[in-house]
Amino acid sequence: DGNTMDNTMGNIIGSTMQGLKLLVTAAGTREPIDPVRYIGNRSSGKMGYAIAEAAARLGAEVTLISGPSALQPPAGVEFFGVESAREMRQLVQEKFPACDIVIKAAAVADYRVKNVSDQKIKKNDAELTLVLEKNPDILKELGEMKQPHQTLVGFAAETQNLLQYAKGKLEKKNLDMIVANDVSKPQAGFNVDTNLIKLLKRDGSIEELPLMSKKELAYIILDRVMKLRK
Ligand code: CTP
């Protein structure tokens, strides 16, 4: 159960997170098409919620900003629910300056619908074209705003060239660490309880972790973040 896990993993991590402010984003954003429809993705929020819960148990002051998810916000966490990428961006930017650590597990939509319809779109023609425009890259913006005391962690979900793409994102977004997962594997990524991840750090090191539950991985990710800050 949660308490047993906390005791074991708390020993592994060996350090408390007391006195640290952590911001976690989780789940997927939804981009409206019209009042009843949206563009979404398969992210469940499990990884991000597990990180928020583990950090709170280790004593951190945690803020969780989440897209729509079926999960309950963990106990002892300050929670904000958002829908679109732009809503998430606004809240994240508001909270960012006061944070020591930011972990961006959310699957943010890269594009939004350009002309959102005020009314429900009726079916008329055989084809319907939606024009999409780019959303801001929240994580990249944080990488530009980052202060020396802040640790920034991103995620990379890929179906090919995992290490190459993840390394590119680590550098381009000015991150301290990136959690790379190959979402083409059935035990990894979206909407399952386990994950298969690799941790890439600024010094070029790559740590490959065995298949584990997202709840266990949450503690490992936090442990590596704490080690980076030492
Ligand atoms: N991210 C973000 N804002 C976006 C898109 C992504 O903050 N508009 C963050 C995610 O929260 C994640 C990381 O960037 O931590 C990587 O997201 P991903 O979708 O894998 O990468 P992209 O940069 O969008 O690159 P691509 O779509 O080309 O793979």
pLDDT in tens, 39-95: 999 999 999 999 999 999 999 999 999 999 999 999 999 999 999 999 999 999 999
Q: Cα of 222 to ligand 1 centre, how many Å?
A: 20
| Ligand 1 atom with least separation from CA of 156 | 20
pLDDT at 11 over 80: no
CA dihedral 225, 13, 156, 21 (to 10 degrees): -50
Q: Phi and psi (nearest 5°) for 77?
A: -115, 135
Average pLDDT over residues 118-140: 94
Indicate yes or no: pTM above 0.95: no
**Alpha helices in 58-127, H assignment, sequence order:** 85-95
Q: Cα of 108 to ligand 1 centre, how many Å?
A: 6
Q: Could you tell me the sign of the dihedral formed by the alpha carbons of 169, 171, 176, 181, in that order? A: positive
pLDDT at 119 over 90: yes
CA pair distance 217, 158, nearest whole angstrom = 18
Q: What is the pLDDT of residue 109?
A: 97
Q: Which region among 8-17, 66-75, 111-120, 212-221 has the lowest average model confidence (pLDDT)?
A: 8-17
pLDDT at 5 over 90: no
SS3 at position 9: helix
What the chain holds in terms of domains, given with CATH numbers, is 2-228 (3.40.50.10300)
Q: What is the pLDDT of residue 205?
A: 96
Q: Is 39 within 8 Å of 31 (Cβ atoms)?
A: yes
Buried b (16+ CB within 10 A) or exposed e, 75-95: eebeebebebbbbbbebbeeb
Q: Is 104 in the pocket of ligand 1 (CB under 6 A)?
A: yes
Active site residue 41: yes
CA pair distance 137, 51, nearest whole angstrom = 22
Q: Is 169 in the pocket of ligand 1 (CB under 6 A)?
A: yes
Q: What is the pLDDT of residue 230?
A: 87
Average pLDDT over residues 188-196: 86
